[in-house]
C-alpha cells in the first residue's frame, strides 16, 4: 500500500515537473521577446542579433531576408537603425501569444517603431510578426522572425492569421 502510494505520488511529481518546465519556457520566451527593443534602442546590435540562433533568419517585410547573427547585427549597425538610435526610438514588441511544442515554439505579436519627431513622437511603422523559436543549450532563441508592415497586404494579414490557426 505505501509503495503504491509512493508510485502514484512520484507520477504526480513527474507531471508537475513537466508543467513547471513548460511555464518556465513561457516566461523565458516572454523575456526573450521583451529584450529585443531594449537591445536595439540602446544600439547593442550584437546583443540584439544573439536573440536569434547562430543561423537564425530575420525576414523584414519589403526590405530584406537576413540570415545569421552577423548579418542581423549588421542590419542594426546600418544607417537606418543608427539614425533611429541617435534620434530616439522605441522598438515596441506588444504582448505576444505564445504556443510551446516541446523544444520549439511560435509567437505572434504586433511591433511598433515609435520615433522622436521634434517635441513628440510618431508611430513610424506598425508590423505583423511571427516568430519560430527553438530551445538551445543557452536558452530559447529565435530561428526565424517573419515581419510584414501592416499596409493592408495579404502577406501582413497571413502573418497575424498564424496566431489563430495555431
Cβ closer to a copy of itself: 78 or 95?
A: 95
Q: Which residue has the cell 538610435?
A: 85
User: At what angle are helices 79-87 and 2-41 packed, to 10 degrees?
Assistant: 90
Per-position DSSP letters for 44-87, written without gaps between them:
-HHHHHTTEEEEEEEEETTTEEEESHHHHHHHHHSHHHHHHHHH
The CB-of-36 to a copy of itself minimum distance in angstroms stands at: 9
Nearer to a copy of itself, 54 or 82 (CB): 82
Count of residues binding a copy of itself (CB under 8 A)?
71
What is the chain's length? Answer: 166
Report, in Å, the least distance between residue 26 CB and a copy of itself.
5
3-state helix, strand, coil in the chain (%, to 5): 45, 40, 15
Span interacting with a copy of itself, options 56-64, 66-74, 79-87, 131-139, rule CB under 8 A: 79-87
CB of 35 or CB of 74, closer to a copy of itself: 35
Question: x/- contact string, 6-45, with a copy of itself (CB under 8 A)?
Answer: x--xx-xx--xx-xx--xx-xx--xx-xxx-xxx-xxxx-
Return the residues of window 87-146 that contact a copy of itself according to CB under 8 A.
87-90, 92-99, 108-110, 112, 114, 116, 120-126, 128
What are the backbone angles phi and psi of residue 158, rounded to the nearest 5°? -60, -35
Nearer to a copy of itself, 37 or 56 (CB): 37
Closest CA to 45 of 10, 2, 80: 80
Find the part of the chain contacting a copy of itself (CB under 8 A) among 60-68, 69-77, 81-89, 135-143.
Answer: 81-89
**Smallest gap, in angstroms, from Cβ of residue 55 to a copy of itself?**
22
Is residue 100 within 8 Å of 166, Cβ to Cβ?
A: no
| 8: its cell numbers | 502514484
Amino acid at each position: 500500500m505505501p509503495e503504491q502510494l509512493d508510485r502514484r505520488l512520484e507520477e504526480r511529481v513527474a507531471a508537475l515537473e513537466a508543467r513547471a518546465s513548460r511555464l518556465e519556457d513561457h516566461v523565458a520566451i516572454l523575456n526573450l521577446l521583451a529584450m529585443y527593443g531594449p537591445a536595439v534602442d540602446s544600439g547593442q546590435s550584437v546583443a540584439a542579433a544573439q536573440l536569434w540562433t547562430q543561423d537564425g533568419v530575420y525576414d523584414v517585410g519589403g526590405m530584406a531576408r537576413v540570415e545569421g547573427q552577423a548579418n542581423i547585427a549588421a542590419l542594426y549597425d546600418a544607417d537606418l537603425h543608427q539614425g533611429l538610435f541617435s534620434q530616439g526610438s522605441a522598438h515596441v514588441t506588444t504582448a505576444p501569444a505564445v504556443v510551446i511544442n516541446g523544444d520549439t515554439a511560435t509567437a505572434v505579436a504586433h511591433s511598433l517603431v515609435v520615433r522622436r519627431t521634434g517635441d513628440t513622437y510618431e508611430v513610424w511603422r506598425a508590423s505583423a510578426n511571427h516568430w519560430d523559436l527553438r530551445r538551445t543549450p543557452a536558452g530559447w532563441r529565435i530561428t526565424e522572425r517573419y515581419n510584414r508592415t501592416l499596409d493592408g497586404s495579404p502577406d501582413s494579414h497571413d502573418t497575424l492569421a498564424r496566431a489563430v490557426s495555431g
